[in-house]
Amino acid sequence: MDLGLVGRANAGKTALFSLVTGAEAEIAPYPFTTREPQRAMADVPDPRLDAIADAQDIPRRVPAQVQLVDIAGLAAGAGHGEGLGGAALGQLRQADALLHVVRAFANAEVPHPEERVDPLADAEAVDLELAVADRDQSERRLERVRKTAKSGDAAAIAEAAALERLIEALDAGRPARSVDDEAATAVAADMGLLTAKPVLYIANTDEELEPPADLAAHAAAQGAQALALPVGLELELAAMDPEEAAELAAEMELGGTRGADAVVAGAYRLLDLVTFFTGSGPPEARAWPIRRGTTAAAAAGKIHSDLERGFIRAEVIPWDDLVAAGSWARAREAATLRMEGRDYVVQEGDVMQVRFNV
Ligand SMILES: Nc1nc2c(ncn2[C@@H]2O[C@H](COP(=O)(O)OP(=O)(O)OP(=O)(O)O)[C@@H](O)[C@H]2O)c(=O)[nH]1
Ligand SMILES: [Mg+2]
């Protein structure tokens, strides 16, 4: 899973990037600290993976991972490719979702381009640049496709119509994801349109745990989600001894799912992902993110294409039943293991072993 960071200069994008990935990156109170796009992976914390491995004495644990892409701040003109942020926007076309970091912290030492704190206005300014970038890209493609359409090519005619619908929406100030038609959705995904991607607005607050109401309303109107995270504070906690940090967080009532975990959990919700596990014995237990509704055969294909091609059946057990049984063999004896066919819809927390033949 690839998550692209967008936001204005000094919004705290790199601070969030460091918090989630643990990567060392330059965070500084002047705009355009980040110049070149940077990427880093983060493990998805999941206590169920350790429970599965501990129960069966499995030494190696491989958590699911997400990749974050941090780019320069987006200023006016970025949509047309201007500035460092504009030049970097193309790097986000492959992203599965966007994390839109919006400044909601005061701190006078960190200059704001307009010397104010206005999360909604900042979010709208960045959304506008994303829409402009999508519009430019759609226009360029429409020009090309129209030439092919002239010869009567049916696919090109359909694509031109889809592009026109996308451009119409963007011109009306609506994101590409709002265009509710299959052909347009497919074209938008193929082009990697930024406003077609799911987006999570992250209000970077001083201490508040709720996003500002107007930003939350904006997110909802955009078909997006919003959460609040005091990124600066969370970075300080992340640098402390974990026990002390947990105590302080409890005292400050920062909530159960915090910091990097809150971001990853938000991204899972956003993409409607569930996790299944492999690990029916040593040497390795592993967590795999898949879209909700994925079948056993398709999930097997995530592990290896041979497993999907030669899929015979899957042995499946809920993770907690496996932990209770203590081993795959005992789970089989206790008949808590089930045999499932290729069309079985994999459930959150399933542990799966695929029988295949190629
Ligand atoms: N008080 C406070 N300061 C923060 C917070 N998050 C980030 N900062 C500070 O804001 C400044 C900018 O943070 P960065 O993470 O570099 O911002 P950025 O969005 O990556 O900025 P560019 O790379 O310049 O676009 C730094 O001095 C941070 O320490 C926060 O939650 N609270
Ligand atoms: Mg930065």
Domains of the chain: 274-356 (3.10.20.30)
- CA distances to 88, 127, 188, 212, 288 from 218, rounded to whole Å, are 25, 11, 22, 10, 33
pTM: 0.92
Residues in the chain: 358
Nearest CA to ligand 1 atom 16: 27
Q: Is 32 in the pocket of ligand 1 (CB under 6 A)?
A: yes
Distance 217 CA to ligand 2 centre (A): 26
Residues with CB under 5 A from ligand 2 (ion): 13-14, 33-34
Q: Is 83 in the pocket of ligand 1 (CB under 6 A)?
A: no
Q: Is 259 in the pocket of ligand 1 (CB under 6 A)?
A: no
Q: Is 235 in the pocket of ligand 1 (CB under 6 A)?
A: no
The Cα–Cα gap between 272 and 291 comes to: 6
Find all residues with CB under 8 Å of 106, minimum gap 6, and list them. Answer: 117, 206
Q: Is 266 in the pocket of ligand 1 (CB under 6 A)?
A: no
Reading the chain (358 residues) residue by residue, the pLDDT tens digits are: 899 999 999 999 999 999 999 999 999 999 899 999 999 999 998 999 999 999 999 999 999 999 999 999 999 999 999 999 999 999 999 999 999 999 999 988 898 888 889 999 999 999 999 999 999 999 999 999 999 999 999 999 999 999 999 999 999 999 999 999 999 999 999 999 999 999 999 999 999 999 999 999 999 999 899 999 999 999 999 999 999 999 999 999 898 888 899 999 999 999 999 999 999 999 999 999 999 999 999 999 999 999 999 999 999 999 999 999 999 999 999 889 999 999 999 999 999 999 999 8
Name the 3-class secondary structure at 39.
Answer: strand
Contact present, 179 and 165 (Cβ < 8 Å): yes
Distance 87 CA to ligand 1 centre (A): 21
Q: Which ligand is nearest to the CA of 75?
A: 1
pLDDT in the model for residue 187: 97
Which atom of ligand 1 lies nearest, measured to the CA of 16?
Answer: 15
Nearest CA to ligand 1 atom 31: 232
Contact present, 264 and 17 (Cβ < 8 Å): no
Q: Is 88 in the pocket of ligand 1 (CB under 6 A)?
A: no
